[in-house]
Chains A and B, each alone.
Chain A
Amino acid sequence: MADYNRKNMALLSSKTKAALLGPLNKNNPVLVQVLGICSVLAVTSKLEPSIVMAISVTLVVAFGNVIISLLRKSIPNRIRIIVQLVVVASLVTIVSEVLKAFAYDVNKQLSVFVGLIVTNCILMGRLEAFALGNGPWPSFLDGIGNGLGYGWILIVVGFFRELLGSGTLMGHQVIPQAFYDAGYQDNGLMMLAPMAILLVACIIWVHRAVNKELQEETN
């Protein structure tokens, strides 16, 4: 029993716990580090692509982190960025191939953006800042944490944009016809990218209001 506990402690020491949970809240890649904003704007006009993008990025960061972490002692320093790019680009290609085979409709909506995961700053940031200096297991958790931290913002923004912009969720009508008969209209602005950045700004606003220590001092 004691053995089991010790092992459990080792699995989630405070450092690895911080790697996993930090990015969900106080070290959020989108809200605090303001990374990966471009794709948040681009793919969130509907909920479904937002979820697929969230899962794809999470998998790519997690496995990219693990691979780089395993290779970290062998990578020649001079070409490490190239090695990171090759790893990320191959993972992204695999994600894109899998989507084409198993989620063709989503792939059609996401096609360009899946390729652009390669350029998502979160990925290179985590590989360079974390995976190169940590073991595979903490790196994996760090990747999952950052992917989910990015993903939940995507899903919240996608939820509101689809609900208010199209009156649907996951393609199903949720706003009853009676509302439309009474004069309610979908907000077309929600379908455009600027509304996504306004929504992200609102989330940042709420997040800063709750976490006062993140507020910058104004003089």
Chain B
Amino acid sequence: MAMNRESNAYTILYAVVMVVVVALGLALTHQLLKDRQVENENIDKMQQILRSLNVDVTADEALDRYGQLIQNAYLIDEQGVKVAETEGTAPQDPAFSTELGDPEAKGLPVYEAVVDGSLKYVIPMSGAGLWGAIWGYMAIEADGSTIYGAEFDHSGETPGLGAEIADTSFKQQFQGKQLFRDGEFRSVAVVKPGRTDAHRDYVDGISGGTITSQGVDKMLRESVGAYRDFLIKLNMANQ
């Protein structure tokens, strides 16, 4: 080509063409792979829900087990009343696709699971740790107070410290704890190992992961607290 390779016009033209070609290429790649990626994300979410029910399965089995255990899912409003026409457990149904904290959301998701013949309610949680987001699921017995299982994950807490909240030994502490005491919602406290909390049930936090532990404590109070009325109704119905 006769054009001078070092001229400004050539340089600018080159940059423009390059950016357009790259943008088109990446957009095409993303479109081609999007379905599979979304499917993987959904399966990952199902695995987390199942882990809160103390069922740990591989990605291949997750879809089947989710179908077997999760009987129903729906949104509830702030008063704990089921929102009409939100039932359905499939990924495209409102309960599964609603993100916590979305201002457009029509309500809070609840999953109903039947494990060994008894009904459990699974609710999602989200909060902040030291470096980034933390989230999880909590499975609660039909009495609305006893914790059946809990699942936590994080986007980037420090390995060996805050990241330990995703460890089985931390999650297992929650089993059997009560969210209610004396008929009032108290949540479950995450305290420094060795400390106690006289007003509510508590579990030991992570040594060296104080901020993450406090993040979990706050997440329990706020995310589970948002379901207070729903849990109170369960509690009343079963007394």
Q: A residues engaging B (CB < 8 A)?
A: 74-79, 82-83, 86, 90, 93-94, 97-98, 100-102, 104-105, 108, 112, 191-192
Looking at the complex, which of B3-11, B94-102, B121-129 is the stretch in contact with chain A? B3-11
> Smallest Cβ distance from A130 to chain B, in angstroms?
21
Which of these binds chain A: B25-33, B181-189, B210-218? B25-33
Known: A83-B18, A86-B22. A97 touches B29 (CB 8 A): yes
Name the prevailing secondary structure of the A interface residues: helix
Alpha-carbon distance A7/B220, docked complex (angstroms): 69
B4 CB to nearest chain A CB (Å): 10
> Which of B6, B156, B159 touches A77 (beta carbons < 8 Å)?
B6
Q: For chain B, give the interface size range.
A: 20 to 34
The interface residues of chain A lying within 8 Å CB-to-CB of B201 are: none
Separation of A189 and B26 alpha carbons in the complex (Å): 40
Residues of B within 8 A of A112 (CB): 156
Interface centre among A98, A101, A112, by most chain B C-beta atoms within 10 angstroms, is A101
Interface string of B11-43 (1 = CB under 8 A from A): 100110011001001100110010011001101
The smallest C-beta distance from A44 to any residue of chain B, in angstroms, reads: 13
For A98, the chain B residues whose CB sits under 8 A away are 33
Q: Name the contact of A76 in the complex, choosing from B11, B44, B156 (C-beta under 8 A).
A: B11
- Complex Cα spacing A3 to B44, Å: 56
Known contacts A86-B22, A191-B159, A191-B160; decide if A77 and B33 are in contact (CB<8 Å). Answer: no
Known contacts A76-B11, A78-B11; is A100 also within 8 Å of B5 by CB?
no
In the complex, A97→B5 CA distance in Å? 34
Taking a contact as CB atoms closer than 8 A, the residue among A97, A100, A105 that contacts B59 in the complex is: A105
A76 to B40, Cβ gap below 8 A? no
Instruction: Knowing A74-B5, A78-B6, A192-B160 are in contact, say whether A102-B29 is a contact too (CB < 8 A).
Output: no
Given contacts A79-B15, A104-B40, A112-B156, 8 further A-B contacts (CB under 8 A): A74-B5, A76-B5, A76-B6, A86-B18, A90-B22, A101-B40, A105-B59, A191-B160
The 3 closest A-B pairs by CB, nearest first: A104-B40, A101-B36, A101-B33
Of A82, A97, A98, A105, the most chain B CB neighbours within 10 A belong to A97
> Once bound together, how far apart are the Cα atoms of A192 and B159, in whole Å?
9
